[in-house]
Structures are given as C-alpha cells and as structure tokens.
C-alpha cells in the first residue's frame, strides 16, 4: 500500500459546525503532515507530527486542532471556521526527513465553509 487516504473527499460546513478530516497511511511512515492549499497556490504547511507527537505548528488558529491517534492515522478537527478557511486540505506522510525522501500526498479534502 503506497497511498495516503483522506476522507471525506468533499465537506461543506457551517461556521458553527464541528467536523473532522481523516487521513490514513499504511506505509510505515513516521512523519505526517497537514497542509492547506488555496486554488492555484502552493500548499502551505499547517502541522507536522513526528512519531505521533506534534513537532511543528505553523501558528495555525486554534479552530484547527490536529490529532494523531497512532502512527497510521492523522485527524484534523474543525470548529467555528470562517469562510476564508475554505480550501483544499492535504495530508502527507514521509518515511524519514523530508529532505531525503519527499512526501506522499493524499488526494485532499475540499472544504467549503458557508
């Protein structure tokens, strides 16, 4: 299995809703990432988990809450989002340091906040 699987593929939520994005990989990768991507722009890093511990938080607002229940799963909990949070949310994983191996990205969750 060489994939990163993200669910759901599409999500529409109101500003008062609570929802979660899920990401799963079975490649034995020990680093997992959340990225946010606006249309025709490069991905922007949000969070990095290394060995199931949060190692990097790129000053992301607290309405985004990541969680890594085990080495294969990564969640992103969403609460009280704003319309400007609408974007493609990408999960990625890597075997080791990204400098040597690059990332494997999932297909993303297209989030629309109304």
Q: How far is the CB of 64 from another protein (least distance, A)?
A: 17
Render the burial of 47-62: b for 16+ CB within 10 Å, e for the rest: bbbbebeeeeeeebee
* Beta-sheet pairing, 109-113 with 10-13: parallel
Using CB under 8 A, count the residues that bind another protein: 30
> Is residue 46 close enough to count as binding another protein by CB under 8 A?
no
> Is residue 40 close enough to count as binding another protein by CB under 8 A?
yes
Residue listed under structure tokens 């704003």 = 82
> Is residue 60 close enough to count as binding another protein by CB under 8 A?
no
Q: How far is the CB of 91 from another protein (least distance, A)?
A: 8
Contacts of 3 (CB under 8 A, 6+ apart): 25, 104, 106
List residues binding another protein (CB under 8 A).
Answer: 4, 6, 31, 40-43, 45, 48, 50, 55-56, 58, 90, 92, 94, 96-108, 110
């Amino acid at each position: 299995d060489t994939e990163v699987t993200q669910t759901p593929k599409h999500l529409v939520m109101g500003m008062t809703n609570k929802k979660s994005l899920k990401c799963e990989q079975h490649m034995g990768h020990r680093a997992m990432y959340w990225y946010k991507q606006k249309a025709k722009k490069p991905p922007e890093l949000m969070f990095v988990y290394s060995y199931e511990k949060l190692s990097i938080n790129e000053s992301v607002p607290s309405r985004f809450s990541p969680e890594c229940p085990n080495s294969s799963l990564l969640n992103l909990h969403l609460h009280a989002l704003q319309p400007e949070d609408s974007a493609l949310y990408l999960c990625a994983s890597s075997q080791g340091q990204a400098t040597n191996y690059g990332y494997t990205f999932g297909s993303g969750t297209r989030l629309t906040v109304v």
